[in-house]
Chain A
Amino acid sequence: MASATRVQSSQSKYSGSLVLSLILHLICFAVLFGTLSNQPPQPIMVNLLQNPDTGKTIKAGLINKKNVDQVVQRHVEEQQEKLRKIEEERQAEIAKREAEERKALELEQLKKIQEAAAKKAEADKQALLAKQAAAKEQAKQKLAKLEADRKQQAKLDLEKKNSAVKQAAALKAEHDRKVAEHNALIQNEVDLYKAKIAAAVEENRILSSAFVGDIVCKIRLRLLPDGSILNLTIVQRSGNPAYDSMSESAVHKAAPFPMPADPELYEHVKDIVLSFRNGETTDA
């Protein structure tokens, strides 16, 4: 996340300088074009001896001097008027052309500005696309890297695990051996207590020929460390409630049970299922 932000900020830094350079370029352009278009217009050459309208040479006539003068004067005036008009027209033409040129120039400039704007927009777009592509690529790479990292980590984990399992297996083997030894010891003690508990119950159990058949009543017994009964439940009924009751009574009568002093042994004998079997008692 942090690196992504960093990438983004560097990106914006670049885009700033890009814009700056663009603007500078544009200014250069504008200056260059501006100087070119500010050149004075070319002078328009007029042949005064020619009728600008017809191009015919004017024939001079000898009338009288005065008349001539007058005519000349008039003619001159006319000519002057014409010239003035021509001049006016020319001036208008010039003005018009100038206006047109100015307008053209303006259009040109506008066009250029627009083009520049479009170009800039395009450039921006491209830049954005590039940026996006770059971001995408970056993200892709980042993902790929993450994936690679993950795989690497998984591989490492697996190796670690394997080695741990191996160690654990070795440990377990050792543990098993010790447990087996320990269990053998415990089993002896447990067998002893089983016999003691059975004897205690049988001492207090009343057999009766009233109970017929191979019926079994199973009683689950949880004992406290002092051998007294914490909890007694009939987990399997024989079908004869009296038989179940008699079995239960035998357990109550036998309590408290002989219990080992060793807390670990206690764990082994604290939870007991007693199976009261009727067996052969009726025919014994």
Chain B
Amino acid sequence: MLRIKLFRLIISAFIMCYVQLVVAAPLNIDITGGKNVGIPIAVLPFEYATGSDPFARAVETDDIAAIIRNDLYNSGHFYTLDVQGIDTNPADIKQVDFGYWKNFGAANLVVGRIVSRGGGLYDVYFELIDIYKGNMEPLLNVRVSDKYPEQFRALAHYISDLIFEKLTGVRGFFSTRIAYITIERGKEQTINSLYVADADGYNSKAILTVPYPIMSPRWSPNGKYIAYVALGKQSSINVINVTNGKRDQLTKYPGINGAPAWSPDGSKLAMVLSKDGAPKIYVLDLETKELRRVTSGGAIDTEPFWDPNGQSIVFTSNRGGKPQIYRVILQSGAVERITYTGDYNATPSLTPDGKRLIMLHQSEKGAYNIAVQDLNNGKVKSITSANLDESPTLAPNGMMVLYGLRDGDQSLLGAVTLDGKFRMRLPLQAENVKEPAWSPFLLKN
């Protein structure tokens, strides 16, 4: 009896061990692949009051959903589904037929409605819904209010920012602005303008129009000013107030006054001056007006860009014979070369985490393209492929580069994601657009 019991016990112990081995350890599967097609999202037209409400007409031309769709698509991270002609139009999650949207191919759905509060104020309610998680809680459920028509684009961009951040984990840049230079060549004279526009290229407005060439616009970290170079009889560095257009001249030394760059805290401006011989990097303290030269030697040093930590400046120099990018540590003055791939690397900027270098890089075929260098391993990857790209400027979230490109005789602005997989051209009205500058994140008005 005991014997049998003991036996059974031992046998069952073995079986248990075996079963344990099989059942206790879940199967491990590595998921490394995927589709880089963008997040499929359906943004439905927002429900709105009709009839005598002035908003009814506005929606046709200024549809919030259309702005959001455009923002998300042009970020390069979304695939916006065409929802024209669909036979369902839920206004909130309770009305959503999840099966329908699964079949439709949407991973996420944006629904919303607009309610007039009177006095030109509108409340906009929207929900961001995850189609696949199968829970009835929207990812986002937000009410925003603003005035029609002045603020509706801004409001739509704001909604895009919220959606983008929710779905990528990265702050969206749709509420930011860009600056650029346009050149209109007339018979009598050439008109040079400094424009600012929404990040999507809409809402453009010239804040400075002058007969002499202007270049190198750079936003101050608080987004209130733009420093730029004016090339009159003599070059000068100036600052313009974006809101009221008020201008101040900062430097007008003999020779070159160029390539201004704001320090991350906005208290200093790096620049290139040739007052002492070769063009060198200087730092101007904006409060004390103290000017300090930070590089030396007979070579050309230009295009300074501050490391986001404020401790060093990267710049272009021909001190090695060919243009390459170097870094100067501000405290010690020590300089190190950071680009080694190819014969031409210039116009450096750094991602907000300081880990990647964006630059103009001459490929082996001789084309000038935008390239990204990983500062950890030195690997360089071109993200554009046209012939004459120029002036790369990074979005404040570090995910997209705006740059100048040439198409025939035209100079245009293009945008590209940092992996080079998504490129677009900005819909600007002007023919000759150059030298874009992306603003920092701006506080919502």
Contacts and interface: CB of A to CB of B under 8 A. Distances in A.
A271 B27 contact: yes
Nearest to B9: A164
Contact of B381 (A208, A276, A283): A283
A282 B419 contact: yes
A249 B36 contact: no
Interface string A210-231: 1110000000100000000000
Q: Is the interface of B mostly helix, strand, loop or mixed?
A: mixed
Interface string A231-248: 000000000111101111
Interface stretch (A21-29, A44-52, A82-90, A167-175): A167-175
Interface centre among B33, B107, B134, B399 (most CB of A within 10 A): B33
Contacts of A209: 36, 76-77, 399, 417-419, 421
Interface stretch (B162-170, B293-301, B427-435): B162-170
A201 B31 contact: yes
A277 interface: yes
A275 B3 contact: no
B374 A283 contact: yes
Interface string B1-29: 01100110011001000100011001111
B107 A198 contact: no
Interface string B266-296: 0000000000000000000000000000000
B330 interface: no
Given A168-B7, A205-B34, A283-B381, A240 B169 contact: yes
Interface string A178-218: 01000000000010001001100111011111111000000
A160 B37 CA distance: 69
A252 interface: yes
A279 B33 CA distance: 9
A161 B6 contact: yes
Contacts of A206: 34-40, 107
A172 B166 CA distance: 55
A273 interface: yes
Contacts of A269: 27
Interface residues on B, range: 35 or more
Contacts of B76: 209
Interface in B66-81: 76-77
B412 to A, nearest CB: 23
B399 to A, nearest CB: 6
Contact of B31 (A168, A172, A211, A247): A247
A185 to B, nearest CB: 13
Contacts of B247: none
A207 B34 contact: yes
A274 B38 contact: no
B130 interface: yes
Given A160-B3, A272-B27, A207 B35 contact: yes
B30 interface: yes
Given A168-B14, A209-B77, A242 B34 contact: no
Interface string B91-134: 00000000000100001000000000000000000000010111
Given A164-B3, A164-B10, A249-B130, A194 B77 contact: no
Contacts of A281: 34, 36, 419
Nearest to B381: A283
Nearest to A218: B28
B165 to A, nearest CB: 8
Contacts of B418: 209, 282
Contacts of B381: 283
Contacts, number: 142
B379 interface: yes
B32 A279 contact: yes
A267 interface: yes
B133 A210 contact: no
Contacts of B170: 210, 242
A125 interface: no
A275 B34 contact: no
Contacts of A283: 374, 379, 381, 419
Contact of A242 (B31, B37, B167): B167
A250 interface: yes
B168 A242 contact: yes
Contacts of A252: 132-134
Contacts of B139: 245
A198 B26 CA distance: 15
Given A202-B33, A281-B36, A267 B22 contact: yes
A273 B26 CA distance: 6
Interface string A11-54: 00000000000000000000000000000000000000000000
Contact of B11 (A161, A168, A274, A282): A168
Nearest to A277: B32
Contacts of B130: 245, 249
Contacts of A203: 35
B379 A273 contact: no
Nearest to A199: B33
A246 B139 CA distance: 12
Contacts of A242: 165-170
A253 B10 contact: no
Contact of B38 (A164, A208, A267): A208
Nearest to B353: A212
Contacts of B26: 220, 271-273
A277 B34 CA distance: 10
Nearest to A280: B32
B167 A246 contact: yes
B419 A284 contact: yes
A268 interface: yes
B379 A165 contact: no
Contact of A179 (B11, B18, B165): B18
Contacts of B39: 206, 208, 246
Contacts of A248: 132-133
Given A175-B14, A242-B169, A205 B33 contact: yes
Given A206-B39, A208-B39, A211-B169, A275 B33 contact: no
A247 B33 CA distance: 11
Given A281-B419, A282-B419, 5 more contacts: A206-B40, A207-B34, A267-B23, A271-B26, A272-B28
7 contacts: A201-B31, A205-B33, A208-B39, A242-B167, A249-B107, A253-B132, A273-B28
Please provide the 10 A-B residue pairs with the shortest distance between their CB atoms, ordered closest to farther.
Answer: A252-B132, A242-B169, A205-B34, A210-B168, A240-B169, A209-B419, A207-B34, A202-B33, A271-B26, A207-B36
